[in-house]
Amino acid sequence: MNKLILAAAILASPALAADEAPAPPTPASVVEAAKPSEWKAIDPADLLVMDLAPDAKGNKRQVIIQLMPPPFSQGWVDNIRTLARAHWWDGTSVYRAVDNWVVQWGDGEGEDPAKAKPLPKGLKVVPESEYVAPATKAELTNLADGASFGASGLAKTTSFLSDPYASLTTFYEGWPIATSSNAKWPTHCYGTVGVARDLSPDTGTGAELYSVIGQAPRQLDRNIAVVGRVIEGIENLSTLPRGKGDHGVYADKSLRVPIISVRLGSDLPTAEQPHFEYLDTGSKSFAEYVHVSANRNDAFYKVPAGGIALCNVKVPIRRVPGE
């Protein structure tokens, strides 16, 4: 038996179940057992496909981002669609990387307004009030069982999702969401994409974006626009060298990674359009997935945690063939 690789295996993934007894469920086994009807398609029109320059060995580097659905952040999401359709990001770069924080991309020439790349027409100025969306009482219904998220919309969870940043946390159409008594908002988890901005009242246009590459910086929630998440290729951002200039900007501009193109998935030729599905966060399988993730008692785990942080619930997303 391979001790080291087994140790590695178990750290990385569901237990390799012994075959003598019915194995306890793992998050992966719950996902595998989900019904086809519990998976929901992600519209290619809601995807951004970012092609970076190949790495030093010539390997292709692609990052795919899912855009935030209504009612969240739609002003910035509209701007991002405008920027993508204008091919505005083509020729810009990834210019900043800070360990356990963010990788940032866009023009990156703000130091010198004369050098700044002109923005396309039609971008909205989005007010700070759009960092959150109103929440109704019905959406905040307190369900007795934290493993139930309700077939649609928001629902209170039990203490196993207790959170220092919000009254309640839950999932909404596939996204981790936090709530207070009258508002709901999208949260900063690993892979979350947000809009870099200047000081208030500036809210950013969406031209300069960042992705989280470390511990969830939830203190940014409600202070900055969350517009999406990386669903494939995050390693093409998270492994970039950390910048040594001020605030992690690459002092050595040769480290900037050229962005070849950013396109909406639906604007690519049909054969190239990426297709993904997410596990319906209102489904029975998702509720079970959260419950099992919070109470691991499979082969590797001796002490179930009894709870789970919102950002440790990795919403299952899978690539599927096109039609």
CA 10, 177, 72, 92 torsion-angle sign: negative
Q: Which of 135, 168, 189, 315 binds its own copies (CB under 8 A)?
A: 189
SS (H, E, C) 262-309: EEEHHHCCHHHCCCEEEECCCCHHHHHHHHHHHCCCCCCCCCCCCCCC
Candidates 81, 156, 197, 256; binder of its own copies (CB under 8 A) is 197
| CA–CA dist 296, 25 (Å, integer) | 8
Instruction: Return the DSSP state at 25.
Output: P
* Binder of its own copies out of 137, 200, 270, 323 (CB under 8 A): 200
> For its own copies, which residue of 58, 121, 181, 302 counts as binding (CB under 8 A)?
302
Interface positions, 91-120, toward its own copies (CB under 8 A) = 96, 98-102, 104, 106-111, 116
Hey, what amino acid is at 70?
Answer: P
CB of residue 87 to its own copies, shortest distance in Å: 20
Q: Please say whether the beta carbons of 93 and 209 come within 8 A.
A: no
In the numeric block, the tokens 């990795």 are attached to 314
User: Which of residues 46 and 298 has its CB atom nearest to its own copies in the complex?
Assistant: 298
List, in sequence order, every residue forming a beta bridge with 317; answer none if it has no partner.
Answer: 278
| 208 counts as binding its own copies under rule CB under 8 A | yes
Closest separation between CB of residue 101 and its own copies, Å?
6
Read off φ and ψ for residue 275, nearest 5 degrees.
-125, 130
Instruction: Decide: is 301 part of the binding site for its own copies (CB under 8 A).
Output: yes
The answer to whether 315 contacts its own copies (rule: CB under 8 A) is: no
Nearer residue to its own copies within complex by CB, 100 or 152: 100
Other beta carbons within 10 Å of 125: 11
**Binds its own copies (CB under 8 A): choice among 44, 248, 265, 316:** 248
Among 241, 318, 320, 322, indicate the residue that binds its own copies (CB under 8 A): 241
CA dihedral for 154, 158, 162, 166, sign (positive or negative): positive
| Sole binder of its own copies in the list 10, 23, 86, 268 (CB under 8 A) | 10
Per CB under 8 A, 256 contacts its own copies = no
Residue 170 or 273 having the CB closest to its own copies: 170
Residue with tokens 């396309």: 120
Q: What tokens appear for 133 in the block?
A: 């969306």
Question: In the window 125-154, what residues touch its own copies (CB under 8 A)?
Answer: 128, 131
DSSP 24: P
Subset of 11-70 contacting its own copies (CB under 8 A): 11-13, 15, 56
Q: Interface with its own copies by CB under 8 A: which range of 32-40, 69-77, 266-274, 291-299?
A: 291-299
Indicate the DSSP class of residue 83. Answer: H
Residue nearer to its own copies on the CB measure, 25 or 44: 25
